[in-house]
Amino acid sequence: MIETITKLKVFAAATLFMHLLAAPAAGATTNPFALLVGKWGGNGLMTLDGNRKERLVCEAQYSGGAAQLVLSINCTGGQNKVDLRAKLSSNAGRLLGFWEERFFKVAGSISGVATESKMDFKVVGVVQGSMKVEYSKARQKVTITAQGVPLQTVTMNLTRR
């Protein structure tokens, strides 16, 4: 009887161990970009040097799969625009990639992290900055900060189209 109980305990422990090995690690995601893929639109606000502000109308499109994401964000305002393009790769939630902003004519590299509801990364190049995207199936908030160009911040609130 004791031998049977011991065998059951060993079997239960082995089963639990195998299950834990097969499960994704805490915070790991199989596709951090799944909720982003598609077309989005909404409003935003751009802050420029001298604390000048411009309201924006924005459209965004995301495409790709579990390991890669291509994004395009276009915003029009008063005298300025935001024309952002990026290609990102994710490896276990770590982001690497390349970005360019065509209106201000700057480009650089991206590194950061992604989960199933947020991307947070730094941009490096002629411009130093960051971009944070918080999202659900229907909404997303984008916050961009920059140094080295007249554009200081951009915030966007977008909904799925």
Query: In the 8-state DSSP scheme, what is residue 25?
Result: P
Find tokens 């700057």 and name the residue.
Answer: 106
Q: What pLDDT, on the 0 to 100 scale, is given for residue 1?
A: 52
CA distance 120 to 89: 13
CA distance 82 to 104: 8
Token duo for residue 21: 């090995």
Each residue's pLDDT expressed in tens, for the chain with a length of 161 residues: 544 443 433 333 333 333 333 334 444 446 888 899 999 999 999 999 999 999 999 999 999 988 999 999 999 998 999 999 999 999 989 999 999 999 988 899 999 999 889 999 999 988 899 999 999 999 999 999 998 888 899 999 999 99
Q: 34-45: b or e for each residue (b if 16 or more CB lie within 10 Å)? A: ebbeeebebebe
Q: How far are the Cα atoms of 59, 93, 117, 131 from residue 113, in angstroms, in the given order?
A: 23, 5, 11, 11
Is the Cβ–Cβ distance between 123 and 99 less than 8 Å?
yes
